[in-house]
């Protein structure tokens, strides 16, 4: 299995939690946004690489209803993992809403609450 890197802009604490520096928000390039969020995770060209894609409401609800979701603070993750990291942690498409807008990212369940918190901070303070 190919090693999947962690987000380079984040501090990974010994307990496996994540402290995120900032979020980047970009629009999805098409209605079916999975390719965008997968490419964002794999490219690591963004500094930092915590890229959230703004997605349509219909895409958000489709992701919520396709499989039983994994609920986490700030939103949900798709029940079926996209892939697994070398340490066995599943990576999933995660979804959150804020201010009537809908967002998606690839994340682990442990990272997701910190990523959502930073997304909402970024949106609230006008950086996105």
pLDDT digits (tens, 9 = 90+) for 69-85: 999 999 999 999 998 88
41, part of any domain: yes
* Residue range(s) defining the domain that contains residue 33: 23-124
- Distance between CA 106 and CA 124 in Å, rounded? 22
Q: How many domains in the chain?
A: 1
Distances 51 to 15, 41, 62, 74 between C-alpha atoms, Å = 23, 8, 21, 16
| Cβ–Cβ under 8 Å, residues 52 and 103 | yes
**Considering only CA atoms, which of 4, 20, 99 is closest in space to residue 54?**
99
- Distance between CA 83 and CA 92 in Å, rounded? 7
89, part of any domain: yes
User: Could you report the per-residue pLDDT of 10-42, keeping only the tens digit for each?
Assistant: 455 555 555 556 788 999 999 999 999 998 888
91, part of any domain: yes
Please compute, for residue 18, the number of CA atoms within 13 A of its CA located in the half-sphere on the CB side: 21
60, part of any domain: yes
What is residue 93's predicted lDDT score, i.e. its pLDDT? Answer: 94
3, part of any domain: no
**DSSP-assigned beta bridge partners for residue 124:** none
| Cβ–Cβ under 8 Å, residues 36 and 28 | yes
Q: What percent of the chain has pLDDT over 90?
A: 49
């Amino acid at each position: 299995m190919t090693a999947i890197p962690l987000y380079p802009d984040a501090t990974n604490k010994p307990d496996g939690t994540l402290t995120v520096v900032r979020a980047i928000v970009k629009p999805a390039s098409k209605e079916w946004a999975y390719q965008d969020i997968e490419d964002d995770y794999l490219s690591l060209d963004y500094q930092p690489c915590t890229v959230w894609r703004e997605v349509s409401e219909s895409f958000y609800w489709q992701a919520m209803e396709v499989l039983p979701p994994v609920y986490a603070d700030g939103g949900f993750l798709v029940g079926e993992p996209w892939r697994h990291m070398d340490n066995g942690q599943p990576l999933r498409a995660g979804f959150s809403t804020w201010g009537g807008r809908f967002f998606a990212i690839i994340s682990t369940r442990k990272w997701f609450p910190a990523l959502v918190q930073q997304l909402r901070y970024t949106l609230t303070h006008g950086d996105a």
